[in-house]
Amino acid sequence: MKNEKNTHGLLNNLKFMLHEQWVFEKKATVIPFIRILSDLAVALMGIWLPKVVLDAISQSIPVHVFLTQIGLLTVALMLLKYISYYSEQGVLKNAVRIWNVHFYIKKDWKILDMDYSIFTSPKGKILIEKAHDSLSRNVNVNMASFYPKLVELVRSVLGLLSFCAVIAFLNPIIILLLLISYGIDGLISLNIQKWEHSIKDKRATIDRKLYYVFDSTNNSSIAKDIRLYDMKSWINHAAKSFMNEKNTLEKQVETKHLLQRLFEAFLIFIRNGGGYIYLIWKMLHTDMTVGEFTLYFGAISGFGLWLHQIVRTINGLSNASCKVDDYRNLMDTKDKLMRSEGEQIPALNEPVEIVLENVRFHYEGSDQTIVDDINLTISKGERLAIVGVNGAGKTTLIKLICGLLEPVSGRVLMNGMDIRRFNREAYYSLITAAFQNVCVLPMSIAQNITFKDESDIDTEKLEKCVELANLKEKMDRLPKRYSTQLVPSVVDDGVNLSGGELQKLMLARALYKDAPLIILDEPTAALDPIAENQMYLRYSELTNNKTAIYISHRLSSTRFCDRIIFVEHGKIIETGTHDELLARGGKYKAMFDVQSQYYKDYIEEKAI
Ligand SMILES: Nc1ncnc2c1ncn2[C@@H]1O[C@H](COP(=O)(O)OP(=O)(O)OP(=O)(O)O)[C@@H](O)[C@H]1O
């Protein structure tokens, strides 16, 4: 996988975020900087106002002048506070939430659109997990907090500089001492931050395991197994053990933070105490006024707050920058398959030819060869059956033909052209498939079959596909027929279809797409014998004018195919028609005999 770069650097991330936000929403990118100016003015007035009041009292200036000064300053202060409030609460906070959703949608789109081989690879899963994490927590700490933290940093640095200027009048050495004390504090925080970053992968792995187990309790597809196999205590035990792992790690994090806070409190005590002692000494030994005392003390403690804010913001910013990295690492992932630059495929009205040349494959992170040097030609319009024991590599072979996985070596050709050269979407449009996994969305049955808006659906074609898939009778029994919504857990008046009905729906979906290559992976596994028989009888109609690949464990069904290949350990070990393979007396026959034995026994029993 290309682009495995982990960190882009703070400045680069800054450029990236500014660009993304500027393109998405300009006003919210600019307005927060107004807050910086108003906040600075408020802060300076905050330490200056007490001086004005105290000096006025000690110099006995006329009351009306004093009240006018205070009144004007108070009005200015209120105005500036309102500007700060509006730019932060009214603009920035809202913008952050919107930016978060914007990044979230872009991330989800990327996941939906990325190459299947990357999506399913262990590395891809980690990239997705991290990118998801970078956006899923509170917007004050996740990646979207990068910009507010940046605004905060600029504000704090300018605030610090302006307070430095005030303190410099008193004694510049104080600035140095304060800097050293806060520097120590900052280094400790940064160290903890780095450590937290180093355990990020470990944290993500534990969370992944834990939430997988939690999700299983809500997963209706395994709810039956949980009850019948009494998996409660097993799941509970797994959850507890992952939870313990998580707790141990989180305790380590908490302990480090606690120690840091204790040390920080100690430094605050030293700093403020030292500041008081020095200013009292100045009052006693120089002509410093009470007003100046409050001004300088305000500046010293304010200096600390600004610096503290800077350290905290740098921590937050570096944390947010790591999250921006996680997001960008996913977004920068390059697909291997061609997109716009790939060759377009001319509209095909005839079946396609598929050729596999010395195709080898193993999954990423595993040495086990799953497809082992396969050479195979599937002629135009041929109906090929792939059979073999569990784990032989049948589904993997199909995924290679579909271009969902890429061979480690060798090539897959469609009508003589390496499929890697095609535009990915154009190639996928040639393939229709009914896999074992059922995927339905909370929409109408018609939409679930066609993946089109109601107004774009070709009703006549839909009816025909439903009829061919043997689902018409069910449709006629539903009051809303094709408009019936699926997924009742999400939709109020939704209905649940049985396993067999869902399988028929998958078949209707494959037929509606009407592509020149049709792949049926165990299409009768959930069907009753009558429905299965009907499907066999209609097999030639279903695959009419198409190249068809059929995976099945029921060997009686493969006799409807032109050719059968028997796969074992990723190799084709037998090939021929049903009768040829039976005559050969090899593994296919052995498997067929085992299956047919039960039918024979049953027929003989009936005959007695
Ligand atoms: N994503 C994956 N990562 C690693 N190994 C995998 C992955 N998917 C499948 N495998 C392994 O590849 C082997 C072949 O799997 P495949 O699904 O192709 O077999 P199959 O012949 O279709 O099996 P079945 O008849 O049970 O559906 C199995 O040993 C499986 O464990």
Q: State residue 4's pLDDT score.
A: 47
Ligand 1 interacting residues, C-beta cut-off 6 A: 120, 363, 366, 370, 388, 390-396
Residue 555 scores a pLDDT above 80: no
Residue 106 scores a pLDDT above 90: yes
Instruction: Give 391-421 pLDDT, tens digit per residue.
Output: 899 999 999 999 889 999 999 999 888 998 8
Strands, sheet with 571-576, edge to edge from the N-terminal-most edge strand:
431-434, 517-521, 547-551, 383-387, 563-568, 571-576
What mean pLDDT comes out for the span 431-454?
Answer: 84
- CA-proximal residue: ligand 1, atom 6 (nearest): 363
How far apart (Å, rounded) are the C-alpha atoms in residues 282 and 329? 56
How far apart (Å, rounded) are the C-alpha atoms in residues 125 and 242? 19
Q: Determine which helix (DSSP H) or strand (DSSP E) holds 251, and give its type and residue range.
A: helix 232-285
pTM, two decimal places:
0.72
pLDDT-based confidence at residue 3 (cuts at 50, 70, 90)? very low
Instruction: Give 41-74 pLDDT, tens digit per residue.
Output: 888 888 888 888 888 777 777 888 888 888 888 8
CB 116 within 8 A of CB 84: no
Query: How far does residue 523's CA lie from ligand 1's centre (Å)?
Result: 18
Mean pLDDT of the chain: 85
Parallel, antiparallel or unpaired: strands 383-387 and 563-568: parallel
Selecting from 3.30.390.50, 2.30.140.10, 3.40.50.2300, 3.40.50.300, what CATH number does the domain 351-430+515-608 have? 3.40.50.300
- CA-proximal residue: ligand 1, atom 28 (nearest): 391
Pocket perturbation via mutation, ligand 1, pick of 395, 551, 555, 566 by most ligand atoms within 8 A of CB: 395
Q: Where are the domains of the chain?
A: 10-197+260-331, 351-430+515-608, 438-514
CATH number belonging to domain 10-197+260-331: 1.20.1560.10
Q: Kindly state the tokens that stand for 560.
A: 């409807």
3-state class of 61 per DSSP?
A: coil
The residue written with tokens 């009205």 in the block is 349
- CA-proximal residue: ligand 1, atom 11 (nearest): 391
436 Cα nearest atom in ligand 1: 27
Instruction: Give 277-321 pLDDT, tens digit per residue.
Output: 888 888 888 888 888 888 888 888 888 788 878 878 888 888 889
Length of the chain (residues) = 608
Please calculate the CA angle 45-47-52 and round it to the nearest 5 degrees.
80
Per-residue burial over 291-308, b = 16 or more CB atoms within 10 Å of its CB, e = otherwise: bbbbbbbbbbbbbbebbb
Q: State residue 324's pLDDT score.
A: 93
Fold equal for 10-197+260-331 and 438-514: no
Selecting from 3.40.50.920, 3.30.360.10, 3.40.50.300, 3.40.630.30, what CATH number does the domain 438-514 have? 3.40.50.300
